[in-house]
Each structure stands twice: as C-alpha cells, then as structure tokens.
Amino acid sequence: MSTLASHLPLIVFAALALSASAATRPPNFILINCDDLGCGDIGPFGSTRIKTPHLDRMAAEGMKLVDFHVTAGMCTPSRASLMTGCYPKRVGMHLGAGGGWVLFPGNARGLHTDERTIAEVLKPRGYATALIGKWHLGDQPEFLPTRQGFDVFFGIPFSNDMGQMTNQGRTRTNAPPTPLMRGSEVIELEPDQRQLTRRYTGEAIRFIEASRAQPFFLYFAHSMPHWPQFASDDFAGKSRQGRYGDSVEEIDWSTGQILARLKALDLDADTFVLFTSDNGGPIPRGASNGPLRAGKGTTWEGGFRVPCLARWPGKIPAGSVCRELAVTMDVLPTFAKLAGAEVPADRIIDGKDIWPLLAGQPGAKTPHEAFFHYHLGQLQAVRSGDWKLILPHAAWPDASAPNQVTLKQPELYNLAADIGESKDVAAQHPDVAQRLMRLAEQCREDLGDDSLKLAGKHCREPGHVKRARTLTPVPPRPK
C-alpha cells in the first residue's frame, strides 16, 4: 500500500510525460521528387499510356493538387526553391554558372551553406535526415548534401546524363565519369543506370527502418525519368510510352514499396508523403504535359505546373482535390509548421504554410497573391488568381534557346477557362493586365530582372569556391 502510494506521483508523471511526448512527436516526412515528370504522365493526372496503380491508390487515399507549381522549368533552380522555400533568384541559384541553365560537374557554384534547407530546419526537432537520389545544388565538397543538413546521402550529385555513360553503349570522352556517392565518398563510377531506381528504393527503405524510432525526413529524389531513361528488367519495354514510360512505371512501383513499408512498420498515421516533380515534362524526350502548353525549359504551364499528390491518413482528406495555387516553396514552411520547427526569421522566405489547403479546411485559399515565373534570371510571367500575364520580353538568354520566344506585347490568359494558354485576352481585360503589370514591377524591385539589367534589392549570393574540381577526373583525350 505504502509502496504504491509513494510511487503514485511518479507513475502519474511518467504516464503524463509519455502521452505528452506521443502527442508532440512530430510527423515523418517523405518528399518524393521525380526528375522531369510531366502533368500527363501518371494515372491520377489522366495518363492512359503509363500504368501507375500505386500512385492511383495514393491519390485515392490522399489529395491531388492540380494547381501546384515549381519555380523554374529546369532542375537546379527548381531544387534550390524546394530546399530553401525561396525563389531561385533570392538565393542566387537561378542560373548555373558560366551561362549554363543548370549546374554541371565541377561548377564552382552551389547552394550557399548559409541557406537553411528543409533538413536543417527540421534537425533541431530531432529529425533523422536523408537524401536518396539526385542533389544538383553543387558538387563541390562544400556544397554536398552532407554539408546541408542531411545525415545520409546516397545518389548522384547532378543529372544522370552529365557523365560518360560508358556502360550504356555511349561514351563521352570529355566528361568525368558519373559518380555514385555515399555520404561525401564516391563509391562507384558510371553505375548501371538500369538499377538506379531499384537501388535508391532499397536505400530509402533501409533508412526508414533504421530511423523509425525518431522522426525522420526522407528526401527521395529520383534520377528518372530524366533523359536518358532506364528501367530494370521487370519494367524495361513494358509501358506504352517507351523508355520514358518504363521508368515512370518503375517509380510507381518504388512508391508502392515505400507506402507498403510504412504500413508494415505501423508508421502510416505518423507519416506525411508528398509526391511531385522538379519541372514539367520534356515532350521531345517522351513526356506528356496533358492539356498544358509546352514543357520543360519554359515558363508556360507545361514547364511550371507539375503533378502533386499528398498523403497522410487521418490528416489529409482521402480522395480530395486541391484547386488552389500552391508552390514547391511552400513545402519548407509547411513541414516546419507541422514539426514545430522554426522557419528562418532573419531572411525573406517566399513560401507559405499551406497546411489549411492540405487539411481540406473549408474555404481555405491560396496564400499567394502573386506568383512569379522566371526563366533563369528573366522575369517572364506573373500569376495572380486565375490570371497569368506573359510579359513582353526578348528570347533569353539567346534566341536560339529551345522553346524561348520573343514577345513585343503582353499576353493575358485566364487559366480557369483556358489552361492551355491558347487565347490571349489582354485586349478584353486591360485592367487585369495593368494590375498584374504592377505586381511584376514590384517583383522586379525585389528580385530583379537580369535581362533588363535590373538588380534585385533582396537577393542573396550563391555559394562559390575559388578552385573548382570535378569529383571524378576527366580522362585524358585519346591520342
């Protein structure tokens, strides 16, 4: 009696502490980012040529976001936004150095280590963090994922077409061999890309299993379906959309493996899974953007609007559709809010918390009054509400660039009525065009416009190293 009575306060305290920690344990996050997956390439977004049963089920169990956007029609700047919650221009990552559209092996630039990635924002809340797959924010040792908040990195630091591809029946003698890395070490050269999706998936599952006792953030960034596309024997030659479709069907399988493992580990109710793409699909490479105009490398909807699925059983309404504008920059503030983590307060963060949209709160609206479309450093378009104004601009950075056009007059599209941007209605709605033009002027003051030689007032510098080297040596030219 006396023993129980004397221990009672301790037992009550322990029970309270346990329930408090259970209540405050932050959710796990799995962010699946495909490379160059278009809006017409998966079942939930209308593909009939590529079979995606696992993504179909993910959509049925979660939310489909049909007005979800990236901040650039290409890899590096888009990924900089996803990681930092900022426009690429804000963090100096709108242009790979040396005039390239993205970072290439041995580039001296990278995402500045003073920038705070999602991984770094979540770390103080006790998260285990991993990047499995493609990084593309700098391959110098200073810029690797392990220096940007990720405990674990397994993957390729840039695109899968930037190496020699010697074991894929093609050799580029002037390129360094593609490095497959673990942490900051190169563990293989020119890995067999047919096995990439399968190997990434195995590593992702191992990370989930090893981290299950604490909250975790897994950034699973597929190398596929970026050109050249590969799939393992189980998927090669099986889809109705060629190699592109094969690689997407394997990504679908991979997502099914991840979701099945969450269920088996009883982590379903604790885990928020977001599935999206880094830019719109490249049509010449086999992608489809459904009804959207153009594709990768442009600021048309086909370049910026990407498929997005969000699943968190019990928290995100099953079978729901979000039609409000949301952007990859919103991922950081939203994850931070859910984790009880701090969004960096000493700098401008452009993304917003979109949890009210994801939770399906009645009447929830987009937090973005305006959304700005840059092609590299050039402001090309402004979105506000249903309206999108294409600004007059010269094809940039040069007229020979693919899909870039010169416009002498602004064009206005109503995306609610004309998602394919086919009917310019600027003449019918001059007031709307003027309102969006004013938003563009405010943006130019803030972020600048390189093609007009306007410096932004609130842009930060990218990281830069004095002596850049390739991670793997470029072989000597054959004599």
Where on the chain is the footprint of Mg ion (CB under 5 A)? Answer: 35-36, 75, 278-279
- Nearest distance from residue 229's CB to Mg ion, in Å? 12
Task: Verify whether residue 75 is a known catalytic residue.
Answer: yes
Q: Which is nearer to Mg ion, 72 or 118 (CB)?
A: 72
Return the structure tokens found at 156. 């390729």
CA 412/CA 399 separation, integer angstroms: 22
Shortest reach from residue 70's CB to Mg ion, in Å: 9
Q: How far apart are CA 63 and CA 308, in angstroms?
A: 8
Q: How far is the CB of 110 from Mg ion (least distance, A)?
A: 17
Closer residue to Mg ion in complex, CB, 102/339: 102
Distance of closest approach, residue 255 Cβ to Mg ion, in angstroms: 18
Minimum Å gap between C-beta 226 and Mg ion is: 6
Q: By beta-carbon distance, which residue lies closest to Mg ion?
A: 75
Does 459 qualify as catalytic in the annotation? no
**What does the alpha-carbon distance between residue 417 and residue 402 come to, in Å, rounded to a whole number?**
27
Smallest distance from the beta carbon of 117 to Mg ion, in angstroms? Answer: 18
User: What pairs with residue 345 in β-bridges?
Assistant: none
Given 34, 39, 75, 322, which residue is catalytic? 75
Alpha carbon dihedral 323, 328, 333, 337, in 10-degree steps, equals 60
391 and 379 Cβ atoms separated by less than 8 Å: yes
Planar angle of CA 425, 430, 432, nearest 5 degrees? 85
Cβ proximity to Mg ion, 50 vs 75, nearer residue: 75
Q: Please report, for residues 270, 333, 366, 405, the alpha-carbon distance to residue 343 in angstroms, rounded to integers and kept in the order given.
A: 22, 6, 19, 38
Choosing from 136, 222, 226, 373, the catalytic residue is 136
Q: What angle do CA 103, 107, 110 make, to 5 degrees?
A: 65
42 to 38, 203, 280, 327: CA distances (angstroms): 8, 24, 13, 19
Select 62 or 281, whichever has its Cβ closest to Mg ion: 281
Q: Give yes or no for a contact between 217 and 335, defined as CB atoms under 8 angstroms apart.
A: yes
Exposure letters 101-120 (e unless 16+ CB within 10 A, then b): bbbbbbbbbbbbeebbbbbb
User: Is 47 or 160 the residue whose CB approaches Mg ion more closely?
Assistant: 160
Q: In whole angstroms, give the CA distance from residue 258 to residue 165.
A: 29
Q: Which residues are catalytic?
A: 75, 136
